[in-house]
Amino acid sequence: MKVCAHGKLNLSLDVLGKNPNGYHDLRMVMQTVQFGDDLDVQLRSDGQFTVDPGQSYLPADGRNLAVKAARLFLEGTGLGADIRVVKRIPVCAGMGGGSADAAAVLRALNVLTGRDMSVEQLCQLGLQAGSDVPFCVMEGAALAEGRGERLTPLPSLPDCPIVICKPAFAISTPELFVRVDGRKSRLRPDTAGIVSAMEAGDAPGVARRLYNVFEDVLERRQGEIFSIKSALTDMGALGAAMTGSGSAVFGIFGDENAARAAFQALSARYKECCLTRPYAGER
């Protein structure tokens, strides 16, 4: 079965604190986009699992979330799976590429095996593979809380062009959490305002409120994040922000021609850029 793994964007990201179990308490509004990886998933009867991850530097064993998800789904059945990924979502971008691949595998295996598990059941299974997997299973838009596993579905962002651009460096997620934990004061995103704007179908209202607390603790050497944000807004984006723990930056546009011009301009400077639109899922 061929299936698409859609990338995700954080329209807002807030870190509320650190729990005794070591996990951080998060509050985020997330949205899937049409841009993503393509996967080919095939059952095998010998219980073996293989993955072609699409890039030579990605793990091709049980460390790969797609394999982990497949093993969780097929546990006790004696079945295995061959998984081939055409990788488009940038790695270490904050777009949930590995989680999206895992979610796509769960959806595919659900069809191939005829188990007909509900979205809620797939989300619970996906949580064992990774915190972002439940949202990637559900797709569309949601308010995500806790580790990201407590999901409140929202209306998807209205159809609009989105430009995504990743600079040629990654950002350490653990380091960002350490810096956020060490802050004495912090600004917070207007999460309630974004939720209200999503419910009203107000894309400009969402764009004005884009905010990611990780941007507040970036180091000077990561200043290219802000350069890309400025370039996007200078070229007509209604708002721009870093997604997840980075390093990809996205801009929401109200004008198709402006978005296309921004994509072309940034593509001349950065290898990993795309022009996409929101994806509402199949609810």
Residues tagged active-site: 8, 132
Q: Label the pairing between strands 141-146 and 211-212.
A: unpaired
Phi/psi-derived region of residue 133, left when phi > 0, alpha when psi is between -120 and 50, beta in every other case: alpha
Phi/psi-derived region of residue 201, left when phi > 0, alpha when psi is between -120 and 50, beta in every other case: left
Query: Whose structure tokens read 């609810």?
Result: 283
Among the residues of 139-241, which ranges form H helices? 173-181, 191-200, 203-208, 224-234
Compute the distance between CA of residue 131 and CA of residue 115 in angstroms, rounded to an integer: 23
Q: How many other CB atoms are there within 10 angstroms of residue 64's CB atom?
A: 22
Angle in degrees, CA 27, 219, 263, rounded to 5: 75
